[in-house]
A and B are shown apart, each in its own frame.
Chain A
Amino acid sequence: DAGVTQSPTHLIKTRGQQVTLRCSPISGHKSVSWYQQVLGQGPQFIFQYYEKEERGRGNFPDRFSARQFPNYSSELNVNALLLGDSALYLCASSRLAGATDTQYFGPGTRLTVL
C-alpha cells in the first residue's frame, strides 16, 4: 500500500508570497493532520481535519489555512509568507481522528522563504 504522499518535495518562495502544499492520505484513512517542523525541533501541530471538517487547530496565525476534499486529500495554504515560515511541513493521516489513532507521516515538503 502507498504511504502518505506530499507535494511538492521542495519549494522556494519569497517573503509576502502565498504557498499551497498538498497531501494524499493512506487509502482508507479519513483524517489528515498538518505539522510544522523547524530545523532542530519537534513537529508543531497546525491543523487536523476529519471527514472534511476542521477538528483541531494549533497556535498558528490566520495566515495558515487548510481544507480537506471529498477524497480525503488535503491542502495547506500559507499567505503573506515570512522568513520564519521556513520549515519542513509534514502531513499525517490516520483512520479516525482519535487521540490513540496512529498517525502515519509523509516525507514532508521543505519550504524555504527568502
Chain B
Amino acid sequence: QQQVKQSPQSLIVQKGGIPIINCAYENTAFDYFPWYQQFPGKGPALLIAIRPDVSEKKEGRFTISFNKSAKQFSLHIMDSQPGDSATYFCAASMKGGTSYGKLTFGQGTILTVHP
C-alpha cells in the first residue's frame, strides 16, 4: 500500500528554473516529512525536513511548502543548477506505536537541469 504519492516521475528544467515536486499522503498520523536527494551510485541524503505545524521552511535554495488540510507538501528548488540533477524522494514518518523511525518514501522524481 503506497501511502505517499509523488509527482511528477521526471522533470526537465533549464538552469535557473524553479522545479517543483509534489507529494500527497493519506495517513494523518504522519508528522515528519523529509526530502532526500539521491545521486547515481549513492545512498539518499537528507535535504530538508518539515513538521506539520509549519507551512513553509527554507534552507538555502530549497523550500518546502506544507498544506496540512490538503495532506500535500512540495519541494521547490530556487535557481536550479546542473549539479542539482538527481533523483528526489519525499518521505514521511510518524511518532509512536511500532513505527518509530520508519520512513515511508514516495516513488521518486528524476530531475534534470540543463545548462
Contacts and interface: CB of A to CB of B under 8 A. Distances in A.
Given A4-B43, A99-B93, A105-B44, A94 B105 contact: no
Contacts of A58: 102
Contact of A99 (B46, B101, B105): B101
Interface string A11-45: 00000000000000000000101010000111111
B106 A108 contact: no
A99 B43 contact: no
Interface residues of A, number: 31
A52 to B, nearest CB: 15
Nearest to A47: B102
Nearest to B107: A42
Interface in A66-103: 90, 92, 94, 97-103
B29 to A, nearest CB: 10
A97 B100 contact: yes
B contact residues, range: 20 to 34
A18 to B, nearest CB: 24
B4 to A, nearest CB: 8
B32 interface: yes
B43 to A, nearest CB: 3
B57 interface: no
Q: Which of A58, A98, A99, A108 has its CB near the most chain B CB atoms (within 10 A)? A: A99
Nearest to B97: A56
B28 interface: no
Contact of A48 (B45, B95, B96, B102): B102
A31 B108 contact: no
Interface of B: 4, 6, 31-32, 34, 36, 41-46, 49, 51, 89, 91, 93-96, 98-108
Interface of A: 4, 31, 33, 35, 40-45, 48, 50, 55-58, 90, 92, 94, 97-108
15 contacts: A41-B107, A42-B89, A43-B44, A43-B105, A45-B103, A45-B104, A48-B101, A90-B43, A97-B100, A99-B93, A99-B100, A100-B49, A100-B93, A105-B43, A106-B43
